[in-house]
Amino acid sequence: MTTFVDRVELHVAAGNGGHGCASVHREKFKPLGGPDGGNGGRGGDVILVVDQSVTTLLEYHHSPHRKATNGKPGEGGNRSGKDGQDLVLTVPDGTVVLDKKGNVLADLVGEGTTFVAAQGGRGGLGNAALASARRKAPGFALLGEPGDVQDIVLELKTVADVALVGYPSAGKSSLISVLSAAKPKIADYPFTTLVPNLGVVTAGSTVYTIADVPGLIPGASQGRGLGLEFLRHVERCSVLVHVLDTATLESDRDPVTDLDVIEEELKQYGGLEDRPRIVVLNKIDIPDGQDLADMIRPDLEERGYRVFEVSAVARTGLKELSFALAEIVAKARAAKPKEEATRIVIRPKAVDDAGFTVTYDEQEDVYRVRGEKPERWVRQTDFNNDEAVGYLADRLNRLGVEDELMKAGARAGDGVAIGSEENAVVFDWEPTMVAGAEMLGRRGEDHRLEAPRPAAQRRRDRQAEHDEAQREFDEFNPF
């Protein structure tokens, strides 16, 4: 059984971020040095890039699981962990990226077009980076975030200017082989072509691409023959060419009914109505073929088709055909808006979403907090470390989560879930604990041990706090 490789399911996993390090500088005779734990490295992204020398998705059919490397954890002595390496996957021009539900995530057309299919996790901050004027010696670090894991589907929609359609053995592949340098498989049995062939044609000053699709038969729309699946390859073309066989000896077929049948199947497929069409009568090197062509030509012209008589084998009528196609293609290109020359980078989701929502989830009897920031902060928290948990509470409080919980009607002891239903951290709310913490000061410090701060010091501390918030914001908004 032949496998079709113009549609594959791909499982991609970006690298995890490395954990931050909690460490205290040690030096002889200086027992209490400052915090010197470095940050974890970023996990590598999984990136799809169009490479025009790649023509199939075969590679991904054979190995559909791909993972980028993890970031390394930070170390003491302020050493940051190394970033993970991005995994770059090359795909053919015209690859469409879909999610498992069939939604289009990206349509990759043009050399170098890039799509980040899975984003690497951020590295966690080490305790050196977490230190501030008010939290001089944090005894914790942030965890690295897990990288994205995505199931995606890649579909190839050939990017060709001209598409050849017709019955099996009408001579579509033969035509490509004589119009271009492509060498597709040609044989006198039906369904020789199983995946589209692509050729480049030069006619005068116009260069265009031409593709065939596996042969169509009546009922293709119901899945007969190879079905209509391959018609997606003609969706991007600017002109359709009906290749009709004038030399078949089957009693129930003649070129005009063949044309009607194919048109009916195209209609079933849909979306191709606006494409100009021309008719090629092939195999006129055979005397009966020429006679039949002469006979049906007026009928076809009456229907409004431009008709070309050719022989792919004797190589006649090809020049006229290739120049006529060039003209149609040039016209279609002129009508299209100019393509962006720049590389497009498409990310699977927006980078920033500063907001959050609090809703009461009746089913689970919890107040559910959703939002990019709070959910990220939870992922970064080492719940075995009380100080880290306290830091999380401070962050949530500062974002206003506590206030919103209060407004939503939450009382002490109520369940609060941060995150989606499948993936949430649930805890009992203790608003007084946080209020108490505010009174006592932030985690990692204790007012009672310090002399009252002079005004200038308080100002500096406020500035430091502001800087920290800014850093957090910057870290979250790389652009």
Ligand X SMILES: Nc1nc2c(ncn2[C@@H]2O[C@H](COP(=O)(O)OP(=O)(O)OP(=O)(O)O)[C@@H](O)[C@H]2O)c(=O)[nH]1
Specify binding-site residues for GTP. 166-173, 191-195, 212-215, 282-285, 311-313
Q: Does 211 bind ligand X (CB under 6 A)?
A: no
Nearest to 428 by CA among 365, 351, 335: 365
Decide if 142 contacts 380 (C-beta within 8 A). Answer: yes
Shortest distance, position 332 Cβ to ligand X, whole Å: 24
| Residue in the structure block whose two tokens are 């020789």 | 192
Annotated binding site: 166-173, 191-195, 212-215, 282-285, 311-313
Q: Does 190 bind ligand X (CB under 6 A)?
A: yes
Nearer to Mg ion, 98 or 200 (CB): 200
Cα separation of 278 and 238, whole Å?
11
Q: Does 4 bind ligand X (CB under 6 A)?
A: no
Shortest distance, position 231 Cβ to ligand X, whole Å: 13
3-state secondary structure of 366: strand
Q: E strands along 350-446, which residues?
A: 357-361, 366-370, 415-419, 424-428
Q: CB neighbours of 448 closer than 8 A, spacing ≥ 6? A: 440
Annotated binding site for Mg(2+): 173, 193
Nearest to 396 by CA among 421, 412, 416: 416
Q: Which of 98, 200, 272, 286 binds ligand X (CB under 6 A)?
A: 286
Helix 386-399 to helix 431-440 angle, to the nearest 10 degrees?
100
Nearer to ligand X, 110 or 168 (CB): 168
Sheet with 239-245, side-by-side order of all strands: 198-203, 206-212, 162-165, 239-245, 277-282, 306-309
12: which DSSP letter? E
Shortest distance, position 87 Cβ to ligand X, whole Å: 36
Q: Does 282 bind ligand X (CB under 6 A)?
A: yes
Judged by CB under 6 A, how many residues of this single chain contact ligand X? Answer: 25
Nearer to Mg ion, 55 or 192 (CB): 192
Neighbours of 205 (CB within 10 A): 7
Applying CB under 6 A, which part among 187-195, 361-369, 374-382, 459-467 lies near ligand X?
A: 187-195
Q: Per the structure block, which two tokens stand in for 434? A: 């946080």
Q: Which of 95, 311, 322, 380 binds ligand X (CB under 6 A)?
A: 311
Nearest to 6 by CA among 269, 162, 197, 200: 197
Shortest distance, position 276 Cβ to ligand X, whole Å: 21
User: Which chain residues interact with Mg ion by CB under 5 A?
Assistant: 173, 192-193
Q: Which residues within the stretch 312-351 sit at the binding site for ligand X (CB under 6 A)?
A: 312-313
Applying CB under 6 A, which part among 141-149, 283-291, 401-409, 434-442 lies near ligand X?
A: 283-291
22 binds, among Mg ion, ligand X, none (CB under 5 to 8 A by kind): none
Cα separation of 223 and 90, whole Å?
31
Nearer to Mg ion, 173 or 311 (CB): 173
CA distances from 401 to 59, 79, 414, 472 (A): 47, 34, 14, 17
Nearer to ligand X, 75 or 245 (CB): 245
- Outline where 204-317 has alpha helix (H): 255-269, 287-302
Decide if 376 contacts 123 (C-beta within 8 A). Answer: no
Helices (H) and strands (E) in the chain, counts: 11, 19
Q: Does 248 bind ligand X (CB under 6 A)?
A: no
Nearer to ligand X, 131 or 312 (CB): 312
Site string for ligand X, 156-185 (x = CB under 6 A): ----------x-xxxxxxx-----------
Cα separation of 420 and 375, whole Å?
9
312 binds, among Mg ion, ligand X, none (CB under 5 to 8 A by kind): ligand X
Q: Per the structure block, which two tokens stand in for 300? A: 């076809």
Shortest distance, position 313 Cβ to ligand X, whole Å: 4
Shortest distance, position 335 Cβ to ligand X, whole Å: 30
Q: Does 193 bind ligand X (CB under 6 A)?
A: yes
List 278's β-bridge partners, or say none: 241, 306
Neighbours of 403 (CB within 10 A): 12
Q: β-pairing, 149-156 with 46-50?
A: unpaired
Shortest distance, position 319 Cβ to ligand X, whole Å: 15
Shortest distance, position 256 Cβ to ligand X, whole Å: 18
Cα separation of 143 and 123, whole Å?
7
Nearer to ligand X, 130 or 186 (CB): 186
Shortest distance, position 245 Cβ to ligand X, whole Å: 8
Residue number of the CB closest to ligand X reads 215
Nearer to Mg ion, 47 or 211 (CB): 211
Nearer to Mg ion, 186 or 292 (CB): 186
Give me the residues that bind ligand X (CB under 6 A), please. Answer: 166, 168-174, 186-188, 190-193, 212, 214-215, 282-283, 285-286, 311-313
